[in-house]
Chain A
Amino acid sequence: MLRSVFNRLIGMAIVMAIVVTVVFIIVRITPGDPAAVMLGPEATAADIAALRDRLGLDDPLPVQFGAYVLDLLRGDLGTSIFLNIPVTEALAQRAEPTFFLTLFSLLIATVIALPVGVLSAYWRGSIFDQMATTLAMFAASVPSFWLGLLLIQFFAVRLGWFDTSGYGGPGAGFFERMHHLVLPAVALGVVSSALITRFTRASMLDVLGDDYVRTARSKGMGEARVVIKHAFKNALIPVLTVIGLTAALLVSGAIVTETVFGLPGVGSLIVSAVLRRDYPVIQGALLVVAGLYVLINFVIDMLYLAVDPRVRF
């Protein structure tokens, strides 16, 4: 057990090292001169050269890479060329809406998907199952930004229950900020619930036909216990994978949704950094997103270990 956790941690470290390298290379081979972009079309060649020198952009790549890795190990992601503040600070300022948006969306998605998927499978072919399957198909084919716009139109514009966009402005309290996340989280969560619902249903259908479910019934227990204790726990194993994938997708899905809802999150930071060729911010944000992916995978692996005694890494 402990050995499996340790093996996974080693694996995580290796993946992150590869990610760091790839991110560094990708950003350097993208065309476009950040110094020229920052200084604007009026800048002289001499100004641009001076800025390139100050930012270390003229050093050989291995030198740039060495300095970059050393800084990373110190927790220093560099300084934003455009915002002129440390990248870690820029990210930290934007982390809250993205974090809570992803978390709430995932909660909404699983809270919808798991019971609906389980009951759909249990009552296979019933009206409930047919409605759930149709709705899931619909939700899966709707882009979250479109659903977001619909929600804004109805709940914000018509009913006035929510603001149409933003994060409450400076000085807004925690609950007011979270209130601004309700619509975007519903938009993302509902769309993501479709995939998890369908996987849960398929996995439950598989499991309900298994021999140990018949054994459970032959012991004389009630259906609720058969379904939850004996079937669902087994069905959960493949579903965990899909929840993990969904969580990873939500991080990138948040970028679009943040734009629609005008949320000052990591997503919108990345978009503006790309437009300005703000290398340190792009690098930092990519690393954080990749780190989140790796972390989510780790959490899923640990859940496997907890649920299934046969799993060893």
Chain B
Amino acid sequence: MSAELAPDTILAVEDLKTWFSTRRMTAKAVDGVTFSLKRGETVAVVGESGSGKSVTSLSIMGLLAKPGAVAGGRMLFRDRQGAVHDLARLSPRQYRALRGREIAMIFQEPMTSLNPLYTIGDQIAEMVRLHEPVSREEARKRALEMLQRVEIPAAASRLDDYPHQMSGGMRQRVMIAMALACSPALLIADEPTTALDVTIQSQILDLLRRLQAEFGMSILFITHNLGVVAEIAHEVVVMYAGRVVEQGPVGPLFANPRHPYTSGLLACMPDAGRDRAADGTRKALTSIPGSVPPITALPPGCAFAPRCDHRIEACEAAVPALGAIGQSHYSRCIRSAEL
């Protein structure tokens, strides 16, 4: 089985379909997403709310809430022993053994993601004891070590603190400490800095980058913030209405976006210098008009067409294919060659 996954690849998501089916309708929240993630690298999945990026990450974690379910595709994952698993076909018990130990996750809301009733030391130690046969004292020692590695000042004295005694940035550090406690092969970070102050944001990104170098884990980074992507990602996957619209290495994709949605997102990034006209007056902020269509009512053609400045008649006829436009750079736009 391992032959199907290139040796330096940790995760290969192939044609993933995650659907939310009720008796009356099916919402294709993720529809045919393909990307892969190399050891020690970071892939950023980018998109607006409703694009399917969080559902993608929850599909990989196996934490979809009903009625959501993986309806097709494969998610090949290589654990630290080199064994390859198709996450789409794991039993709940097999999934539990991987979750936390091999694939860990941090979330958007550090204020609510920790249990308010247990000390942070207990919550980190719990992660260790769930997956490794260690004593209580040993687990506590590991928790302390992790707190030091995520650079919490006076870590020993914070071990018995409760989450409400810490700031948002500190709690996100605790979440990271907990996620990395068993040194997983893959860390899924679902908008980990969105809820934080800008100064704290860059501290957390720096920390993640340093820890990635130390632990050698791969990171799947979910965000809507392209500024963050530029700082941390090697590869970018841009999602729109459940589909990948453009993907490629971060440099070429930022320098030469080939899908109008990506160009639009890039144009929306506020830039203190660029937003001033020559005479110093403030220019209006750029935005993409309209919003992501509901996934239950997608147009027959390109899902972005209704909001697109470059729309032609052919756009509305059929969903464009994801076409190669450069070295591992793909775009789902019939006009990508001219743009």
Smallest CB separation, A285 vs chain B (Å): 40
The verdict on A179 contacting chain B, using a C-beta distance below 8 Å, is no
**Distance of A91 Cα from B87 Cα, bound (Å):** 68
A88 touches B (CB below 8 Å): no
CB distance A215 to B99 under 8 Å?
no
Task: Give the size range of B's interface with the partner.
Answer: 20 to 34
- The residue in chain B whose Cβ has the minimal distance to the Cβ of A225 is B130
B83 at the interface (CB under 8 A from A): no
B160 → A minimal CB distance (Å): 10
B119 nearest in chain A by CB position? A309
Contact B117 A217 (CB under 8 A): no
The answer to whether A233 touches B178, judged by C-beta atoms less than 8 angstroms apart, is no
Of B105, B112, B126, B162, the contact of A218 (CB 8 Å cutoff)? B105
Nearest Cβ on chain A to B26's Cβ, whole angstroms: 19
Q: How far is the CB of B114 from chain A (nearest CB, A)?
A: 6
A216: nearest chain-B partner, CB-CB: B115
Whether B107 and A214, one on each chain, are in contact in the complex, defined by CB atoms closer than 8 angstroms, is yes
Interchain nearest-CB distance for A310 vs B (Å): 5
- Tell me whether B251 is interfacial, beta carbon within 8 Å: no
Report A-chain residues with C-beta under 8 Å of the C-beta of B127. 219
Q: Which residues of B contact A58 (CB under 8 A)?
A: none
Q: Evaluate contact between A310 and B112: CB separation under 8 angstroms.
A: no
A-B contact number at CB 8 A: 63
Query: What is the CA–CA distance of A230 and B116 in the complex, to the nearest angstrom?
Result: 9
| B130 interface neighbour in A210, A219, A234, A307, Cβ under 8 Å | A219
B63 at the interface (CB under 8 A from A): yes
Tell me whether A66 is interfacial, beta carbon within 8 Å. Answer: no
B100 touching A215, Cβ below 8 Å: no
B164 contacts A310, C-beta separation under 8 Å: yes
Contact B116 A221 (CB under 8 A): no
Give the chain B neighbours of A217 by CB distance below 8 A. 63, 99
Interface contact A215-B114, CB-CB below 8 Å:
yes
8 Å CB interface, A204-220 against B: 210-212, 214-220
Chain A's closest residue to B112 (CB) is A211
B295-312: contact bitstring with A at CB < 8 Å (1 yes, 0 no)? Answer: 000000000000000000
For B97, B116, B162, the residue with the greatest tally of chain A CB atoms inside 10 Å of its CB is B116
Q: Do residues B116 and A212 form an inter-chain contact, with CB atoms below 8 A? A: yes
Chain A proximity of B28: nearest CB distance (Å): 23
A309: chain B residues at CB < 8 Å are 116-117, 162, 164
Complex-state Cα separation, A220 to B94, whole angstroms = 10
Q: Is there contact, CB below 8 Å, between B96 and A220?
A: yes
Complex contact A212–B100 (CB within 8 A):
no
Contact-size category for A: 10 to 19
Whether A230 and B115, one on each chain, are in contact in the complex, defined by CB atoms closer than 8 angstroms, is yes
Given A210-B112, A214-B107, decide whether A220 and B162 contact each other with a Cβ distance below 8 A. Answer: no
The answer to whether A221 and B130 touch across the interface, beta carbons within 8 angstroms, is yes
Instruction: Write out the residue numbers on chain A whose beta carbons fall within 8 Å of the beta carbon of B105.
Output: 218
B162 adjacent to A222 (CB under 8 Å): no
Answer whether residue A71 sits at the interface, using C-beta atoms and an 8 A cutoff.
no
A307 surroundings in chain B (CB, below 8 A): 117
The answer on a CB contact under 8 Å between B130 and A218 is no
| Contact present for B130 and A215 (CB under 8 Å) | no
Q: Determine if A220 and B98 form an interchain contact, defined as CB atoms under 8 angstroms apart.
A: yes
| Interface of A: prevailing SS | helix
Contacts of A218 in B (CB 8 A): 61, 63, 99-100, 104-105
Does A176 touch B at the CB level, under 8 Å?
no
CB of A33 closer than 8 Å to a CB of B: no
Residues of B within 8 A of A230 (CB): 115
Q: Name the residue among B98, B107, B115 with the largest chain A CB count within 10 angstroms.
A: B115
Let me know if B329 is at the binding interface, CB within 8 A. no
Query: Does A76 belong to the interface (CB within 8 Å)?
Result: no
Does chain B have a CB within 8 A of A47? no
Tell me whether B97 and A215 are in contact (CB under 8 A): no
B101 interface residue (CB < 8 Å to A):
yes
Q: Is the CB of A234 within 8 A of B107?
A: no
Question: What separation, in Å, do the CA atoms of A221 and B92 have in the docked complex?
Answer: 11
Please indicate the chain A residues that have their CB under 8 angstroms from the CB of B96 in the complex: 220-222
Known: A218-B100, A220-B98, A220-B130. A212 touches B115 (CB 8 A): yes
Q: How far is the CA of A121 from the CA of B269 in the complex (A)?
A: 43
Given A220-B96, A221-B96, CB of A214 within 8 Å of CB of B63: yes
- Interface flag for A308 (CB, 8 Å): yes
Shortest beta-carbon distance from B211 to chain A in Å: 18
User: Closest residue to A213 on the B side, CB-wise?
Assistant: B115
A308 CB, nearest partner CB in chain B, Å: 6
Instruction: Contact check, B101 vs A212: say whether CB atoms are below 8 A apart.
Output: no
B113 in contact (CB, < 8 A): yes
Shortest CB distance B54–A (Å): 11
With known contacts A220-B98, A220-B100, A221-B130, A215–B164 Cβ distance under 8 A = no
Instruction: Indicate if the CB atoms of A234 and B116 lie closer than 8 Å.
Output: yes
Considering the chains assembled together, what is the distance between the CA atoms of A273 and B127 in angstroms? 62
Q: B108's closest neighbor in chain A, by CB?
A: A211
| 25 interchain pairs, CB-CB under 8 A | A210-B112, A211-B112, A212-B116, A215-B113, A215-B114, A216-B115, A217-B63, A217-B99, A218-B61, A218-B63, A218-B100, A218-B104, A218-B105, A219-B99, A219-B126, A219-B178, A220-B95, A220-B96, A220-B97, A220-B100, A220-B131, A222-B96, A307-B117, A309-B162, A310-B116
Beyond the given pairs A211-B107, A214-B63, A219-B100, 12 more chain A to chain B contacts, judged by CB atoms under 8 angstroms and listed by A's residue number, are A211-B109, A212-B114, A215-B114, A219-B178, A220-B95, A220-B98, A220-B100, A221-B126, A221-B130, A222-B96, A307-B117, A310-B116
Q: Nearest 5 A-B pairs (CB), nearest first?
A: A220-B100, A220-B99, A211-B112, A219-B100, A212-B115
Interface residues of B, Cβ cutoff 8 Å to A: 61, 63, 95-101, 104-105, 107, 109, 112-117, 126-127, 130-131, 162, 164, 175, 178
